[in-house]
Amino acid sequence: MELEIAKIFIALLVLVNPLGAIPIFISLTPNANQLERKRIAKTTTLAVAVVLCLFAVVGETLLHFLGISIGSFQVGGGLLVMLIAIALMNAQPAPTKTTKEEQSEAEAKTNIAVVPLAIPLLTGPGTISTVIIYASTAHSWVQVVYLLISSLLVAVTCYGALVLASPISRLLGQTGINIVNRVMGMLLAAVSVEIIVDGLYRLFPQLSR
């Protein structure tokens, strides 16, 4: 159980990447005090948990409703995750995260906890796709429970990262954050390959022979 939860947790944590969200969180809350940042972090964490758990529960049903095969979704989702991994390894913003225009618009908003912090900064298309893939390939309800537990642990980690955003930013600096992101990118690339390969086996069963 611990190994399975750890594997899912690491995959989701790398995708959510709360460490990479710290500079944007600080830039969007320049005049907020520590109490206000805690309030924003709490709301963001709740939104992240709801999004992850919601798609973990309804993910497979959603695919069936749209008539999308699990194999096709795995290959497509795996390619999306690979793009995010490449961006992380190049210390570039992920293509599925917030754009400069969205960040500029967010600076004028009074409530940034849900949009753009939770969605799409932390739980973007890549994260949602991966949660749906894990949910749709679960062999039993126990594995779905593992996914839910992992999702909640990721949300709690996001809260810790956002609350400690200023100390972490001072400690690591942009260079330190980039180094961590590159390591996460390598891990995420391995996850994406695993997803794509499993999807290809589902689409072309003869490959496994």
**Confidence check: pLDDT of 75 > 80:** yes
Count of beta carbons in the 10 Å neighbourhood of residue 76: 16
**Cα gap 43→108, rounded to integer Å:** 18
Work out the mean pLDDT of the chain and round it to a whole number: 87
Mean pLDDT of 55-78: 91
Q: What is the C-alpha to C-alpha distance for residues 112 and 21, in angstroms, rounded to an integer?
A: 13
Express as a percent the part of the chain with pLDDT over 90: 52
Question: What is the DSSP annotation of 115-127?
Answer: IIIIIIIIS-HHH
Dihedral sign from CA coordinates of 94, 182, 106, 53: positive
**What average pLDDT does the segment 72-84 reach?**
92
pLDDT per residue as tens digits for the range 18-62: 998 998 899 888 888 899 999 999 999 999 999 999 999 998 888
Inform me whether the pLDDT recorded for 109 exceeds 60: no
The dihedral of CA 192, 91, 124, 6: what is its sign?
positive
What is the C-alpha to C-alpha distance for residues 138 and 20, in angstroms, rounded to an integer? 29
Q: What is the 3-state secondary structure (H, E, C) of 23-83?
A: HHHHHHCCCCCHHHHHHHHHHHHHHHHHHHHHHHHHHHHHHHHHCCCHHHHHHHHHHHHHH
Question: What is the separation of C-alpha 136 from the centre of its chain, rounded to a whole number of angstroms?
Answer: 17
Look at residue 4 in the predicted model and tell me its pLDDT.
77
C-alpha 152/C-alpha 146 separation (Å) is: 10
Q: What is the pLDDT of residue 101?
A: 58
For residue 108, the model assigns a pLDDT of: 47
Largest CA-CA distance found in the chain, in angstroms, rounded: 60
CA atoms within 13 A on the CB side of 14: 27
pLDDT band for position 96 (50/70/90)?
A: low
